[in-house]
Amino acid sequence: MDAVRSSEAKSVHAFDRKNTMSHAIRSTPADVKADLADEFVHLARVALAGREQDVTMFVRRAARRHRTDCPELAEALIGLLRQNPTRANPLRAELDSPIPVDGDSRLPLLRVVAPDATAEVPILPAETYRVLTQIVDERKHADRLAAADLAPARSLLFVGPPGVGKTMAAAWLAHQLSLPLVVLDLATIMSSLLGKTGTNLRHAIDYAKQRPCVLLLDELDAIAKRRDDDRDVGELKRLVTVLLQQIDDWPTGAGLVIGATNHADLLDPAVWRRFDVAVTFDLPETSQRGEAIRRFAGQPLPDAAVDAAAIASKGLSFNDIERTMLRLRRRCLLEDQPLPGMLAEHSARLVAELPRTDRLQLAQTLVGMSGLSQRQISALTGVSRDTLRGFTHRRE
C-alpha cells in the first residue's frame, strides 16, 4: 500500500515535469502565441462568468505552466496570487511578514482572523465555559501568577464531534484576549504531498510563533493519528515529532496554541499529554438545543414551539440546528408562513423518525414541561391521547 502510494506520488511529479518540458521543447514563437491566445480566451470566459475560484486556479496553473518558457510572466502571476488572499485581510498592516504559502500551489497555509472581527459566545455547559474563562483570566493576570511562580496555560486541546463549537470557542478566546486567530487546517496540509508537509508545517507554525496570536491547529487528528494507518510510517512519525516539538517549544508570551479534533481516539496519547488543558465538547443537551433554536430563529418564539423542537432535535449538533433554522426561515419568507408553525411541523417530522420508545419518552417529557395541549403532543409524537392521559395520572 505504501509503495503504491509513493509511486503514485512520484508519477504525479513526473507528469508535471513532463508537461512543462514538452511545452518548453515544442515552443516555437507561433506555438506560444497560439497557446497564449487559447489561455486568454479561457481566462476571459471564466472571469466574465464571475467564477472567481476558477480564475484563481487558472492563474495558479498558468504560473506553473510558464515557469520555464516565460519566467517573468510566472513571477508576475505568483505575485498577484500572493497579494490576493491578503488584500481583504484587515490584519495586513499589522502583520509584517506575508502569510506563508505552499511551495507548489502558492495557496496560503494559514487563515488569519482579525481580533476585531465579531466573535459570538458559544453556547456551552457552565463547566466548559468556566474552563475557558479561566484561560482568559490567567492571561489577564499573568503577573499575579508569575509572582507565585506559575505561568498561564499555553496549550489547549479541544475534543468533540463536528459542529459543536470547537472552532467557534477558539475564535471567541482569541477575541477575549484581543489576539488574532491563526488557523492551520491540518487536513488541508496533510492532503498535500507528504514530503512537503513537514516544511509547510514548520513554516506555518514559525509564522504564528513570531507574533502574539491564538494558533488553532484544526483537524489535529489528520496528522497526529496513531501510526496504524496506511501512510508512510517513517514520514508520519517525523511529522508528529515536528508537531510535538512545536507545541513543546511554544513560547508562553506568544499567545495560545489550541489543538482541535473530532476523533480523540485517533490521537496518540503522547499528543494528549503535550497539552496543558483538555476540554471536551459534547453534543448539546436539550436545554442548549433550545437556546440554539432561539438564537438562530432571529425572532422571539413561543416556549412550547422551542421546547418541542429542542426535544425533537435530539442527537443534532449546534451546526445542524443552525442550518435547519436558517433553511426554515428562508422557507417561511418565501412561502409567507409564520416560523413557529413551520418549526412545529419540522419537529413532528423529526420525531416521527425516532423509535417508539424515544417518542414515548418525549411525549412524557412534553406533558410535564411545556405549554402544549394533549392534542398537540399526540399529533407531534404519534402517541395516543389515551396513553398521554396515563402519563398525567401517573404524575398525579
Ligand X SMILES: Nc1ncnc2c1ncn2[C@@H]1O[C@H](COP(=O)(O)OP(=O)(O)O)[C@@H](O)[C@H]1O
Interface with ligand X (CB under 6 A):
122-124, 160, 162-168, 260, 292, 318-319, 322
State which residue, 168 or 279, has the beta carbon closest to ligand X: 168
Spatial CA neighbour of 192 closest among 63, 12, 61? 12
Shortest reach from residue 216's CB to ligand X, in Å: 9
Please give the residue whose beta carbon sits closest to ligand X in the complex. 165
d(CA 332, CA 339): 6
CB atoms < 10 A from the CB of 248, how many?
A: 10
DSSP 269-336: HHHHHHSSEEEE--PPPHHHHHHHHHHHHSS---HHHHHHHHHHTTT--HHHHHHHHHHHHHHHHHHT
Q: Determine if 167 is a binding residue for Mg ion (CB under 5 A).
A: yes
Q: Which is nearer to Mg ion, 167 or 381 (CB)?
A: 167
Residue nearest to Mg ion (CB): 167
At closest approach, how far in Å is the CB of 316 from ligand X? 11
Closest distance to ligand X from the beta carbon of 329 (Å): 14
Nearer to ligand X, 162 or 371 (CB): 162
**Which CB, 63 or 183, lies closer to ligand X?**
183
> In angstroms, what is the minimal distance from the CB of 127 to ligand X?
14
The answer to whether the beta carbons of residues 358 and 312 sit under 8 Å apart is no
Q: Are 224 and 240 in contact (CB under 8 A)?
A: yes
Exposed e or buried b for every residue in 350-388, given b needs 16+ CB within 10 A? bbeebeeebbbbbbbbbbeebebebebbbebbebeeeeb
- For residue 120, the minimal CB distance to Mg ion (Å) is 15
Which of the stretches 158-166, 297-305, 319-327, 358-366 binds Mg ion when contact is defined by CB under 5 A? 158-166
> From ligand X, Mg ion, none, which one binds at residue 122 (CB under 5 to 8 Å depending on kind)?
ligand X
DSSP letter at 232 equals -
Closer by beta carbon to ligand X, 77 or else 159 = 159
Count of Cβ atoms closer than 10 Å to residue 263 Cβ: 14
Q: Which does 189 bind (CB under 5 to 8 A by kind): ligand X, Mg ion, none?
A: none
Name the grid cell of 317: 449538533
Q: How far is the CB of 319 from Mg ion (least distance, A)?
A: 9
Task: Report the length, in residues, of the chain.
Answer: 396
Nearer to ligand X, 196 or 263 (CB): 263
For residues 289 and 70, give the distance between their C-alpha atoms in angstroms, rounded to a whole number. Answer: 58
Contacting range for Mg ion; rule: CB under 5 A; set: 51-59, 164-172, 296-304, 384-392:
164-172
Least distance to Mg ion from the beta carbon of 166, Å? 5
Q: Which stretch binds Mg ion (CB under 5 A): 126-134, 144-152, 167-175, 377-385?
A: 167-175
Instruction: Give the integer Cα–Cα distance in Å for 46 and 39.
Output: 11
Of the two residues 60 and 314, which places its CB atom closer to ligand X in the complex? Answer: 314
What cell was used for 282? 459534547
Q: Which helix (H) or strand (E) holds 213?
A: strand 213-218
For residue 172, count CB atoms less than 10 angstroms from its CB and return exposed for 0-12, middle for 13-18, buried for 19 or more: buried
Nearer to ligand X among residue 85 and residue 122 (C-beta): 122
Residue 319 interacting partner from Mg ion, ligand X, none (CB closer than 5 to 8 Å by kind)? ligand X
Q: Name the minimum Å distance from CB 162 to Mg ion.
A: 7
CA distances from 285 to 112, 165, 167, 297, 311 (A): 32, 14, 19, 18, 9
CB under 5 to 8 A by kind: which of ligand X, Mg ion, none does 124 bind? Answer: ligand X
* 3 state SS for 237-288: HHHHHHHHHHHHCCCHHHEEEEEEECCHHHECHHHHHHCCEEEECCCCCHHH
Cβ-based nearer residue to ligand X, 167 or 370: 167
261 binds Mg ion (CB under 5 A): no
C-alpha cell at 302: 413561543
The partner in contact with residue 184, picked from ligand X, Mg ion, none with C-beta cut-offs of 5 to 8 angstroms by kind, is none
Per rule CB under 5 A, count of chain residues that contact Mg ion:
2
Residue 109 partner contact from ligand X, Mg ion, none using kind-dependent CB cut-offs of 5 to 8 Å: none
Which CB, 166 or 294, lies closer to Mg ion?
A: 166
Minimum distance, C-beta of residue 243 to ligand X, in the bound complex (Å) = 19
**Residues 6 or more apart from 33 whose CB is under 8 A from it?**
none
User: Smallest distance, Å, CB 53 to ligand X?
Assistant: 21
What is the contact surface with Mg ion in residues (CB under 5 A)? 166-167
